[in-house]
Structure 1
Amino acid sequence: MLLWRKGKDHRPKVTLGITGWWSPRVHINGSVRHLKYRGAPESNLWKNRHPKRRNFIKERKFDILSLMNNAVGNLTWEQKSVIIGSVLGDGHLRKIEGRRFAFLEIQHSIKAKEYCEWKYSILKSICKSPPKIRKMDEKREVIKFQTREHPEIDEIYRQFYEGKKKVVPKNFILNPLSLAIWFMDDGSKSRGSIYLNCQQFDWKSQRRLLHALRLMGIKARMNKDKKYYRIRILKESTKKFLEIIKPYLHYSMFYKLPG
């Protein structure tokens, strides 16, 4: 057995193929990947079952590090966008003491069942089990699911949390899908105006969200809602806002759009 190591959290194991030394593989995060060699090995050793192949392959340098960077299990752009949009909205990242990585927990009202299941369909590859309905009390039911612990989710956790408090990181940039998820989670309409609820964030984080919207060409301002503040999209930017998010909206959330 040959071992390579990259950092503290990666210990890939290289084993030989079932048919002998012809097909070495690497095991990373539970997945099996066949290896390619650097350089062109001698033709006699490569094409034929030469008795010296065993020693030859042991001495070759496998391209392990580049393989690890592209290992199965890395988050897609779509998955990262859904996670970040959910963190801005109703989702929560959690990290259990003593565990290495954080995970995402999604919970919605039973009325948003289809929307929750749509989120799950995007994150399915990193989830433990499908969404489940929970009865909170006699009148309230919710649907929820959670992802597995994941190193890239842990990176997002470190950016968006200070202790148990949600924050928006400095120089934060929104993309259209994350904005759409945020709107579907915490957006609302009132008298023809669109609002994004961000009461869970402090003033500094709210200003960073405003800046991220302006970078997308959306004009908005803070609007006081009783004791707290939320973001109101200015009417002159409503059309621009809707053009950005509409391609990513789930049909069950169309009711949130202004008429």
Structure 2
Amino acid sequence: NMNIASNMFYMMIMNYMILSMIMYNKYIINMKMTKKKEMNNYIGPLNMDIMSIIYGSMLGDSHAEKLKGGTRITFQQENIHNDYLYYLHSLLANLGYCNTNLPTIKTKLSKNGKIMQILRFGTWTYNSFNYIFKEWYITKKSNKGYIKIMPKSLETYLTPLALAIWIMDDGCKLNKGLKFYINYFKYEEVLFLTELLYKKYNIKATIQKSNMNNTQYIIYVWTESMPSLAKIVSPYIIPSMKYKFDNYLL
């Protein structure tokens, strides 16, 4: 039953939140599994919880990869946000979409030559994730590689949970508002997302240019919309990410 599953998932998030208030940088994983064959979640449609997590993170730093046996989703954060990455891992592990091995710190050379410490993990590969790949990517004209796009199905899957994941993944506090750097998408796609925020949640936001070449954009959520946004996503925001809401989340 979808409602029962969603209620159980909500309780899992609340359990994590309560534990985090007591012991920081902790996570809850209710089982121990390291192999996909130990699960049967490849049977049947994807539920709204897993779709919300993936769609919210795909607006940020996550990406999908098409492989021979299907598609997998990879999640990544800098080590300074390790609490969030562990939280995200615990959600996916408890839903049975990745192994329960704790992500470890890796080093990565950034474009400006800076050495970064990152945490990364991926889901197992699923044929059911192929739909997500088709929604989020198109083939380049040269037929070499793919281009990330903004899917129209986002209207269905931009749930309060997806919004919370996107904020924790890629949102930045700016004065009394919130901003998102949108590095992959065209202006028309960013406009679609901004209009969707208003259509679904009455959240007002402005599109701003983020570089001199006008190829990247920022979505800035108005201060007047922050109390409403905070109320919508508050059940899912972990303690270490509440700073992004200033005093709107107590």
TM-score by length of 1: 0.68
CA contact (8 A) 1:73 1:126 kept: no
Q: Quick one: which of 132, 135, 148 aligns to 2:124?
A: 148
Structure 2 residue matching 1:238: 3-state secondary structure = helix
Structure 2 residue matching 1:126: 3-state secondary structure = coil
Give the number of the structure whose residues are more often helix, by fraction: 2
Query: How far did residue 31 of structure 1 move?
Result: 7.1
Structure 2 residue matching 1:95: 3-state secondary structure = strand
CA contact (8 A) 1:172 1:208 kept: no
Q: Is structure 2 residue 172 aligned with structure 1 residue 188? A: yes
Distance across 2 between alignment mates of 1:223 and 1:184: 20
Query: How far did residue 117 of structure 1 move?
Result: 1.0
Q: Quick one: which of 230, 233, 237 aligns to 2:218?
A: 230
The one-character-per-residue Cα deviations of 1:55-103 (angstroms, maximum 9, x if unpaired) are xxxxxxxxxxxxxxx865754322211111110001011113xx14110
Task: Point out the more displaced range, 121-130 or 84-93.
Answer: 121-130
Structure 2 residue matching 1:189: 3-state secondary structure = strand
The one-character-per-residue Cα deviations of 1:205-247 (angstroms, maximum 9, x if unpaired) are 1111112101221111212223332111122212111111111
Query: How far did residue 167 of structure 1 move?
Result: 0.9
- 1:1-259 maps to which residues of 2 (within 5 A)? 30=37, 72=43, 75-96=46-67, 99-124=68-93, 125-128=96-99, 129-136=101-108, 139-163=115-139, 164-170=146-152, 172-173=154-155, 174-215=158-199, 216-227=201-212, 228-259=216-247
Q: Which runs of 4+ in 1 moved over 4 A?
A: 29-33, 70-74
| Alpha-carbon distance change, 31 to 201 in structure 1, aligned in 2, over 3 angstroms | same
- After superposition, the CA RMSD in angstroms is 2.4
CA contact (8 A) 1:89 1:186 kept: yes
Determine which structure has more spread, i.e. the larger CA radius of gyration: 1
Bigger relative contact order, structure 1 or 2 (CA pairs below 8 A, ≥6 apart): 2
Q: Which amino acid aligns with 2:228?
A: K
Q: Which amino acid aligns with 1:157?
A: F
| Alpha-carbon distance change, 100 to 204 in structure 1, aligned in 2, over 3 angstroms | farther
Distance across 2 between alignment mates of 1:123 and 1:211: 29
Q: Which amino acid aligns with 2:75?
A: I
Q: How many residues align?
A: 193
Distance across 2 between alignment mates of 1:145 and 1:171: 25
Distance across 2 between alignment mates of 1:168 and 1:258: 29
Distance across 1 between alignment mates of 2:244 and 2:39: 45
| Alpha-carbon distance change, 31 to 212 in structure 1, aligned in 2, over 3 angstroms | same
